[in-house]
């Protein structure tokens, strides 16, 4: 068996709170290889961010606890590492970019200091060397006049520039894996595209793997090789980007796609949201977690939990009916129209 | 940065004028025995004597004239205008025109006679004191004479001593006590707050939270008396007079510090508790921020995240609090100084108020005002040092 860069095996992260056990991540598995981009898609509270934070041991424990599964990075278990061991991985082998660039940079340190800090910590550089390197990194991520901007404070940067600085910081030690947790959510649409392009460019140059966590299918459509759709802490669909977009196998994925406002829509056209709310992660519905919101749910869906299973090659779905003849997005829609 | 400091210093001027004006108004309308009566004791005073005393002390004039006298004697720069008239030998000696009833002293005083070219001149100033002005200390600018004088705070009504001398003796005691108290506050307050925040929910955290809640509710004088009892009597009995505070026979430089222990703890107690609570809540808030998660994600150790990234942010409000508290301590701790018989400026001013010894009150408040303003400036500068958004005058948020 060849060793994968990253292998997530049935990872379960639960939070033990006063109100009950929150099953934030409940059985996620996938593999990631060098140069690949994985898109992790889901609504708020689907566990997509928590699963990434769990790998980095950035979830406060307690109340959080890994109750099962493992994450292997180059064959080494990340979840059972000591503080010191995981510290050497963070920012060095696996780096992370966060959602809100406005609050993710420390307001009292110069940008150059913060971008260069991983180099001082992991590569043993002096602060002077790190700052020189920070200028190059800022230039790499497209910040104009990096020689001057390196001495600026975060508040002197715009949102897009801050996210570029965050990317520069994440790239400082040339990590194998870059985890981007909703990197464009807090940015203007025009800036979003620039940031995504930048990350693709850098991936081509450095060959690192990217885990792109987002609620926006549009973001992953362009960049991801494969897509993992999550719902209520569980994976519901996994496949290549083409498979997930053109032959989606789970009613939740269909719902996500329908809820994207189509091009050429007028203000009079109706939006198609998924009805209902995501379930409480303490009282996850029995059977399929999506069943209360699923328009195609049968009796079986409310009692029997469907497992993620390969339906078409590696393309897998956690729906009882996936793969049955006639149970595809277009055919079901057609049947609805004719009925 | 330089501009910032200059701006802050300029802002002091209206504050200074406001405080001193308010002080003069309050003192003037303060009911109670008049200072002359208090000075003379129980005896009846001959009205002529009383009038002379009042005139000598400059108290016979309205409050605004007294305020003018005060400002002009405080100013290190004195300007006089010579009208150049030829006067008789007798009036050749220039007089201060300040003590003229009803004249607001902020106008440049007018002196008869030509500008004195050389030689020392004796002048009676507004506080009734004869000062010798050497010709060398004067600068001539046409008919204006400009002179530089050290600020003068007048003399005590009660015993005639110079107020600057009295404050020169008492203020070092207050400063010394304040420095010791602030050191206690910085070490214990910040230390307890940091321990409490980093070990949230632990026994130590509960201990800090509980003890600070009790401390902020304690009256200072009661705490002072209890500490004296505990360390001076109870501990002495317990150890068979081998150890107690303050120890007898302490002398020299050592004694001056050893006597400070209990007063410093008493003075620092309440604000230390506040400092610990502010430190705790600030650090807890900062630890929850996104940039702390970023710092961890970079691979920084817990210690580096705490001291490098969290503390610099969390310290900003703590520095402000401790700085302002140091200013408050420099203005004299009346309760602590009274309980410990500490001859500081707070106790001195308190006695001066009771005795209507206005020059001491004015002088004391003036010195305190400058001390507090200076400390506030230091706080602001350090605040700007800690927070770049303030240093560069803004930015968003």
Q: Per residue of chain B (397 residues), what is the pLDDT tens digit?
A: 777 788 888 888 899 899 989 888 887 777 665 777 777 777 777 888 888 877 777 777 777 877 887 887 777 776 666 655 554 444 444 444 433 333 333 445 555 555 555 555 555 544 444 544 544 456 666 566 666 667 777 788 877 788 888 888 888 889 989 999 999 999 999 999 999 988 888 889 899 999 999 988 888 889 989 988 888 888 888 887 777 777 766 666 666 777 888 889 999 999 999 999 999 999 999 988 889 988 988 888 888 888 888 888 888 889 889 988 998 888 878 888 888 888 888 888 888 888 888 888 888 888 888 888 888 888 888 877 777 777 665 444 3
Q: Which structural domain, as residue segments, surrounds residue B139?
A: 76-150
Q: Are residues B253 and B123 in the same domain?
A: no
Whether B52 is covered by a domain: the verdict is: no
Q: Are residues B121 and B268 in the same domain?
A: no
Q: Is A17 on the interface with B (CB under 8 A)?
A: no
Q: Which residues of A touch B296 (CB under 8 A)?
A: 58, 90
- Rounded to a whole number of angstroms, the distance from the CA of A157 to the nearest CA of chain B is 10
B-contacting residues in A 90-149 (Cβ below 8 Å): 90-92, 95-96, 98, 100, 103-109, 117-118, 121-122
Q: Are residues B315 and B179 in the same domain?
A: yes
Q: Are residues B328 and B251 in the same domain?
A: yes
State how beta strands A309-312 and A315-317 pair. antiparallel
Whether B189 is covered by a domain: the verdict is: yes
Q: Are residues B234 and B128 in the same domain?
A: no
Q: Which of B198, B288, B291, B298 to mutate to test the interface with A (most CBs of A within 10 A)?
A: B298
Whether B396 is covered by a domain: the verdict is: no
CA B271, B273, B275, B277 torsion-angle sign: negative
CB contact under 8 A, A153 and B392: yes
Whether B30 is covered by a domain: the verdict is: no
Q: Are residues B138 and B172 in the same domain?
A: no
Long-range CB contact pairs, A282-286, < 8 A, 24+: A282/A17, A282/A19, A282/A20, A282/A21, A282/A22, A282/A23, A283/A20, A284/A23, A284/A26, A284/A232, A284/A233
The answer to whether B178 and B330 are in contact (CB under 8 A) is yes
The enclosing domain of B345 has a CATH number of: 1.10.3720.10
The answer to whether B212 and B296 are in contact (CB under 8 A) is no
Q: Are residues B167 and B119 in the same domain?
A: no
Q: Are residues B205 and B324 in the same domain?
A: yes
Strand runs labelled E in A74-175: 76-77, 94-97
Q: ipTM > 0.90?
A: no
User: Which H/E stretch holds residue B138?
Assistant: strand B138-141
Distance CA B180, CA A334 (A): 84
* Of A90, A153, A155, Cβ closest to residue B297: A90
Distance CA B12, CA B377 (A): 9
CB contact under 8 A, A153 and B395: yes
> How many CB atoms within 10 Å of residue A142?
17
Q: Where is the domain boundary, B150, B171, B187?
A: B150
Strand runs labelled E in chain A: 6-17, 20-32, 37-41, 64-73, 76-77, 94-97, 177-181, 209-214, 226-231, 234-240, 309-312, 315-317
Angle at B43 between CA B41 and CA B45, to 5 degrees: 105
Please tell me the total count of domains within chain B. 2
pLDDT in tens, A206-263: 888 999 898 888 888 888 888 999 888 888 888 888 888 888 888 888 888 877 776 6
Distance CA B38, CA B118 (A): 43
Whether B292 is covered by a domain: the verdict is: yes
Q: Where is the domain boundary, B129, B150, B171?
A: B150
The answer to whether A296 and A321 are in contact (CB under 8 A) is yes
- Rounded to a whole number of angstroms, the distance from the CA of A187 to the nearest CA of chain B is 16
Whether B22 is covered by a domain: the verdict is: no
Q: Are residues B139 and B200 in the same domain?
A: no
Q: Are residues B265 and B364 in the same domain?
A: yes
Reported residue count of chain A is 339
What backbone torsions phi and psi does residue B306 show, to the nearest 5 degrees? -65, -55
The answer to whether A175 and B297 are in contact (CB under 8 A) is no
- Rounded to a whole number of angstroms, the distance from the CA of A4 to the nearest CA of chain B is 22
Closest CA to B208 of B305, B268, B278, B263: B278
Closest CA to A173 of A135, A123, A132: A123
Whether B290 is covered by a domain: the verdict is: yes
Closest CA to B262 of B190, B323, B341, B324: B341
Q: Where is the domain boundary, B119, B150, B181?
A: B150
* Rg (chain B; Cα; Å): 27
Q: Are residues B145 and B214 in the same domain?
A: no
Strand partners, B124: B130
Whether B391 is covered by a domain: the verdict is: no
Q: Are residues B115 and B256 in the same domain?
A: no
Q: Which spans in A39-91 are helix H?
A: 48-55, 83-89
Distance CA A113, CA A126 (A): 11
């Amino acid at each position: 068996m060849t060793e994968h860069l990253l292998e997530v095996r049935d990872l379960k992260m639960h939070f033990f709170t006063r109100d009950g056990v929150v099953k934030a991540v409940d059985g996620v598995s996938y593999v990631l290889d060098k140069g690949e981009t994985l898109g992790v898609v889901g609504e708020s509270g689907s566990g997509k961010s928590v699963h990434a934070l769990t790998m980095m041991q950035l979830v406060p424990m307690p109340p959080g606890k890994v109750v099962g599964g493992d994450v292997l990075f180059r064959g080494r278990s990340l979840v059972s590492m000591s503080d010191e061991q995981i510290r050497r991985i963070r920012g060095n082998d696996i780096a992370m970019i966060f959602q809100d660039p406005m609050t993710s940079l420390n307001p009292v340190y110069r940008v150059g200091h913060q971008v260069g800090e991983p180099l001082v910590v992991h590569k043993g550089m002096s602060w002077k060397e790190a700052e020189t390197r920070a200028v190059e990194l800022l230039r790499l991520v497209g910040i104009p006049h990096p020689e001057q901007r390196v001495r600026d404070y975060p508040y002197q940067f715009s949102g897009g520039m801050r996210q570029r600085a965050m990317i520069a910081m994440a790239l400082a030690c040339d990590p194998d894996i870059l985890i981007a947790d909703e990197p464009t959510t807090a940015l203007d649409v025009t800036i979003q595209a620039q940031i995504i392009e930048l990350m693709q460019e850098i991936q081509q140059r450095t060959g690192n793997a990217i885990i792109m966590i987002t609620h926006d299918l549009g973001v992953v459509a362009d960049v991801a090789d494969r897509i993992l759709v999550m719902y209520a802490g569980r994976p519901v669909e996994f496949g290549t980007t083409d498979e997930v977009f053109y032959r989606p196998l789970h009613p939740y994925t269909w719902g996500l796609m329908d809820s994207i406002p189509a091009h050429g829509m007028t203000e009079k056209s109706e939006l198609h949201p998924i009805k209902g709310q995501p379930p409480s992660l303490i009282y996850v519905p029995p059977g399929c977690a999506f069943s209360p919101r699923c328009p195609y749910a049968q009796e079986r869906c409310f009692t029997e939990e469907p497992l993620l299973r390969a339906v078409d090659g590696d393309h897998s779905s956690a729906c009882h009916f996936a793969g049955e003849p006639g149970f595809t997005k277009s055919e079901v829609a057609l049947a609805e129209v004719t009925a | 940065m330089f501009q910032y400091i200059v701006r802050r210093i300029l802002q002091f001027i209206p504050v200074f004028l406001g405080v001193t004006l308010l002080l003069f108004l309050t003192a003037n309308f303060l009911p109670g025995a008049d200072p002359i009566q208090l000075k003379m004791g129980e005896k009846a005073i001959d009205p002529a004597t009383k009038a002379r005393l009042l005139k000598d002390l400059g108290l016979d004039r309205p409050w605004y004239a007294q305020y003018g006298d005060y400002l002009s004697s405080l100013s290190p720069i004195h300007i006089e205008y010579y009208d150049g008239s030829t006067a008789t030998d007798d009036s050749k000696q220039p007089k201060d025109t300040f003590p003229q009833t009803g004249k607001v002293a902020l106008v440049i005083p007018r002196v008869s006679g030509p500008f004195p070219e050389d030689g020392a001149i004796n002048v009676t100033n507004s506080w009734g004191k004869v000062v010798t002005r050497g010709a060398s200390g004067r600068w001539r600018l046409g008919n204006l004479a400009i002179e530089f004088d050290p600020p003068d705070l007048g003399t005590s009504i009660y015993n005639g001593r110079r107020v600057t001398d009295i404050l020169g003796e008492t203020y070092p005691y207050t400063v010394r006590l304040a420095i010791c108290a602030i050191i206690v506050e910085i070490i214990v307050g910040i230390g307890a707050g940091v321990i409490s925040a980093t070990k949230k929910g632990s026994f130590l955290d509960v201990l800090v939270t509980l003890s600070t809640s009790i401390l902020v509710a304690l009256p200072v004088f009661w705490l002072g008396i209890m500490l004296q009892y505990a360390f001076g009597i109870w501990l002495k009995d317990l150890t068979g007079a081998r150890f107690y505070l303050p120890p007898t026979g302490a002398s020299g430089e050592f004694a001056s510090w050893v006597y400070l222990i209990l007063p410093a703890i008493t003075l620092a107690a309440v604000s230390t508790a506040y400092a610990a609570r502010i430190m705790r809540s600030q650090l807890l808030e900062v630890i929850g921020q996104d940039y702390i998660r970023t710092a961890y994600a970079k691979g920084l150790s817990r210690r580096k995240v705490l001291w490098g990234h969290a503390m610099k942010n969390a310290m900003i409000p703590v520095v402000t609090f401790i700085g302002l508290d140091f200013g408050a301590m420099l203005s004299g701790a009346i309760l602590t100084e009274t309980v410990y018989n500490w001859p500081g400026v707070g106790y001195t001013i308190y006695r001066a108020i009771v005795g209507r010894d206005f020059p001491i009150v004015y002088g004391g408040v003036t010195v305190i005002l400058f001390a507090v303003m200076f400390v506030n400036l230091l706080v602001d500068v350090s605040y700007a040092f800690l927070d770049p958004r303030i240093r560069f005058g803004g930015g968003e948020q």
